[in-house]
Amino acid sequence: MSTPSAPLPGGTWSLGDLTVTRFGYGAMQLAGPGVMGPPADHDGALAVLREAADLGITHIDTAGAYGPRFTNQLIREALNPHSEYPQHSAPPHIVTKVGAVRDQQGGWPPARKPDELRRAVDENLEDLGLTSLDVVNLRLGDAQGPRPGSLAEPFETLVELQQQGLIRHLGVSNATAEQVAEAQTIAPIVCVQNMYNLAYRQDDELIDDLADKGIAYVPFFPLGGFTPLQSTALSAVAARLGATPMSVALAWLLRRSPNILLIPGTSSVAHLRENVAGAGLPLSDEELAELDKIGR
């Protein structure tokens, strides 16, 4: 166990009554290849989660579909209060997703009927060893991105589970701006989790609107996902700073808006530490202006 580190870059943000670090950790990569099955290195996966907690990260992103279920079971094993959890660290808040499952081909078919959502919440509670989930995002759309249409029926099911005390706070993921607005007419939300990064800027207006309302925006694939970001301008700024392009991309996101929370994922302790250091990279106003042009 390492000693407590310096404050994480970006400070903190409030998800309702929960205070989380703006630099979080996405657990998707802890599952096996294709986000299916157990990790090849079980102890290594536990080490990454414990290092995240030891660094002071209090925002862990996950989903029952990762594995499926293996990632949540790893989180329970690594971070429950009865494990070798770093006692000097604040307990992490777990943000999970429901609304999709895995098929035998590794696809992500939707599962948004009331009974499917109730089952998903129950499985998350069981695998994480919790009696209430901190935040549950309703995953919409498909693997190609958001799709238009009302979210009322599935979201109202989650509201019912919230009223039963199984969920503390709600959010939406892979959603259109119209779906985000519709969700807010049904119940308060604390976060929106969509694809966004330096090169993929479709949600710029939505981010600013959510910031005005005090709602977090959590970009998934902040470094490009399975296809790493490629940009001449990004590489040029990184070269001048003596940093990696991925470090610059993370640092830019933290500077883009105060309501942006980062959840870069990795299965490596060393890479996790690199991501934390990279997100704290100082960027000048000139560098920010140069980077800001990339996705526009």
The answer, yes or no, to whether the previous bond of 68 is cis (omega within 30 of 0) is yes
Structure tokens at 229: 């970001």
Residue from 25, 66, 85, 217 carrying the catalytic annotation? 66
For residue 125, count other CB atoms closer than 10 A to its CB.
Answer: 18
CB 180 within 8 A of CB 174: no
25 catalytic residue (yes or no): no
Query: Residue 216 pairs with which residues in a beta bridge?
Result: 191
Instruction: Give residue 77's identity as a one-letter amino acid code.
Output: E
Query: Residue 110 pairs with which residues in a beta bridge?
Result: 100
Structure tokens at 55: 């660094």
Instruction: Give residue 214's identity as a one-letter amino acid code.
Output: G
Catalytic site residues? 66
